[in-house]
Chain A
């Protein structure tokens, strides 16, 4: 019985550079986990026969009968650092990625990009209820970031305030950008108005009114910018 058996589709190739790095990192992580667990065992912790549901490491139990997973609770997780919901860094990088993706219609000038995203995010800020978020998001653009992400909202709200101080001297290149932004806000305003007319619930009306208010504010700022 030869080890390198029949010619199946799986042929072993040496791992690439990137894969080697990943393997190396994983091995170091495993070594660190083993060392930590060994230290805890010597401190009197009990090694249980169950594994952690999240990461698959063996669980330890201390004298107070509390279960403890070394890799989840002590080491930085392998995959958590990529999850935007848990890590501000990851969230910021996700926002940057989306900005880069939507950069074709919009120029990459910082304050205007900031303004554009703020005007887009404006639609998000006054929407605490998921169902309304859904409705607003459905009416909005497809490239809007998901409404539940808290990180883009603070990013957007902080850029709301400095919109005025960040006013740069107008150049001819900025004008089409401002026009487009104005048009987007007007579309939103129009949509909110129609929604308001057909809205039956009190709270929905309140939300839509505040949306209209912020759209008006944005229009005012845009007009000031273009002057």
Chain B
């Protein structure tokens, strides 16, 4: 009989509260960094919630489930893992409080605990249903008008116009980096990111296409260099192949340099384990049938291949595998450079950027396998020498300027942190510009609502691509207000009392996020809330929640320590209430990322509350972990069968 353990709501709550306690100190723009050290001496520095949670030792199944949900969410949106946990904890607390107050009495239950558990499950299901059905429209109606849509064209950081609109993408990226990296470098890094995006921006495609391309190929598009200051990070033209030349570089001065990609061995390996080589077959009479003659024959065929390559004018060979010594010798003789053991990602990127397909059969090399490069030379980055190639502009690639990112940092732990931050930023931007219908699966969104979205001509009724809103709690305050209005519209009819309570739960739970952001300064929280609600209730034009160029002749700074200007609120003179000028300098965040976050949290809540019992199964791998402190390791598994 396997040992059972019944799960109660308190267990779930305790597990999630512990995870919340772990991440809350790194949350928000003022959050701290966590330094993990291993016994090997490796250090990892991070502020990313996913990274922190996946580095913990967790054996509790609920905790692992939550961390997996966070990880999956983070791979899709790139951001919001700490917000996920905090929101999850507060929703569970609200459900717990509500379930204790009003347990469902329509069925008879054994105890109050089972009644509470059933109510909690019911509430979670209702919340999820609300989230899938009504939340999108609610956000589109009540929150999106206070944001703005950032268009793809607006984002060069170099544009020196005084209009603040053009810097929206830069602001969006900067506020993301301020939650991930230190304040000193976030501006520099966000400028670098904008430059990268600018170079990769394709002129006629939708922005989500190039963002997806960047996101998928990011591992091949960056190089990590440790030992240099962060300000030496830069963009370089073309692609960096993270291998060195295997043969000496020939001084080929003819342009363009032609390269061919090989996936297979040029000279077949003679004897692998399990293979049987039969010599002298095929009806031809040979003088001697020995292995020496066979290998001589293979070398002769290799010479044909090399000669073929020479006639095509190829001077660089890129190989996915390690070629044999004979190949390298013949290539050196023929003045061909060989680069071996190139990773698959880089070869795929090379093929995409150059338009040349890799060679499958080495005896058949056609002109479409030949890639044209502007240059192919070694580059020294940090302590390593790599191959640096630049592509000649072809017809497809004429839109973009391929470039590669070099990320420098003093230690390896920091290079990893910055690389992840870059990757997550690109992921976040991709989610921002991805149209919402495309991201939700068909099972979640019914056909009717999709049609509704398409039929609706007003852009304000949907969460359009590129929609952003001021950060640091604005989204939560606005949505809280919207949900409470939604609640009040339901108080009359009693049969929709369920919707009433779930909206109330969600509304109250949402406030925990700005409370956490402003946890060091409660006054700041109240003031931000008041300002935003004033702006709504006085029917100011929605766009005044954003900044307008300086009418703030008498800025009144709020209390609290100065935080590098990130959270400072400026408002107009006290006498000038009717003026519509209202400047918020809180940074920007993406609305669709927030929406996805809410949906993911609601789904996690539902799946957490579905779990009822834990069955412990012992496998040979895990017997150690369930042992008590005193038993010796030689005890057998049977001791645990109670």
Contact = CB atoms under 8 A, between A and B. Distances in A.
Interface in A40-67: 41-42, 44-51, 56-58, 61, 65-67
Nearest to A66: B629
Contacts of B628: 67
Determine which residue in A8, A35, A41 has the highest number of CB atoms from chain B within 10 A of its CB, and name it: A41
Nearest to B56: A41
Interface stretch (B97-105, B239-247, B358-366): B97-105
B105 A5 contact: yes
A44 B36 CA distance: 9
Contacts of A78: none
Contact of B21 (A4, A38, A46): A38
B281 interface: no
Given A2-B497, A5-B104, A65-B629, A58 B18 contact: yes
A3 interface: yes
Interface stretch (A26-34, A101-109, A112-120, A161-169): A26-34
Given A49-B61, A51-B5, A67-B628, A3 B17 contact: no
Contacts of B498: 1, 3
Given A41-B22, A47-B60, A1 B106 contact: yes
A6 interface: yes
A10 B106 CA distance: 12
Interface residues of A, number: 34
B72 interface: no
Determine which residue in A34, A56, A67 has the highest number of CB atoms from chain B within 10 A of its CB, and name it: A34
A49 B3 CA distance: 12
A3 B21 contact: no
Interface string A1-17: 11111101010100000
Contact of B60 (A4, A34, A48): A48
A41 B36 CA distance: 11
Contacts of A5: 104-106
B105 A34 contact: no
A208 interface: no
Determine which residue in B18, B20, B105, B494 has the highest number of CB atoms from chain A within 10 A of its CB, and name it: B18
Contacts of B627: 65
A44 B61 CA distance: 18
Contacts of B616: 49
Contacts of A42: 22, 34, 56
Contact of B494 (A2, A33, A61): A2
Contacts of B495: 2
Interface string B606-642: 0000000010100000001111110000000000000
Contacts of A3: 102, 104, 119, 122, 497-498, 501
A107 B21 CA distance: 57
A37 B56 CA distance: 12
Interface string A66-86: 110000000000000000000
A156 B112 CA distance: 47
B330 interface: no
A48 B616 CA distance: 12
Nearest to B18: A37
Contacts of B629: 65-67
B313 to A, nearest CB: 59
- Interface size class on chain B is 35 or more
A227 to B, nearest CB: 63
Please report whether the interface of chain A is mostly helix, strand, loop or mixed according to DSSP. mixed
Contacts of B112: 10
B305 interface: no
Contacts of A50: 5, 626
Given A3-B104, A3-B497, A48 B22 contact: no
A45 B105 contact: no
B56 A10 contact: no
A35 B59 contact: no
A218 B122 CA distance: 71
Nearest to A10: B105
B127 to A, nearest CB: 13
Contacts of A2: 106, 494-495, 497
Nearest to B100: A12
Nearest to A68: B629
A6 B106 contact: yes
A67 B34 CA distance: 25
A31 B17 contact: yes
Contact of A4 (B10, B11, B102, B122): B102
B57 interface: yes
A67 B101 CA distance: 36
A48 B20 CA distance: 17
A61 B622 CA distance: 14
A47 B63 contact: yes
B21 A35 contact: yes
Interface string B363-383: 000000000000000000000
A33 B10 CA distance: 13
A14 B5 CA distance: 32
Interface string A109-131: 00000000000000000000000
B231 interface: no
Contacts of A34: 14, 17-18, 20-21
Contacts of B497: 2-4
Determine which residue in B15, B59, B494 has the highest number of CB atoms from chain A within 10 A of its CB, and name it: B59
Contacts of A10: 103, 105, 112
8 contacts: A2-B494, A3-B119, A5-B104, A38-B19, A41-B57, A49-B59, A56-B10, A65-B624
10 A-B pairs closest in CB distance: A38-B21, A5-B105, A46-B57, A34-B17, A38-B22, A5-B106, A8-B105, A37-B18, A34-B21, A49-B60
Given A3-B497, A56-B10, 7 more contacts: A4-B102, A6-B105, A38-B18, A41-B56, A45-B57, A46-B58, A66-B629
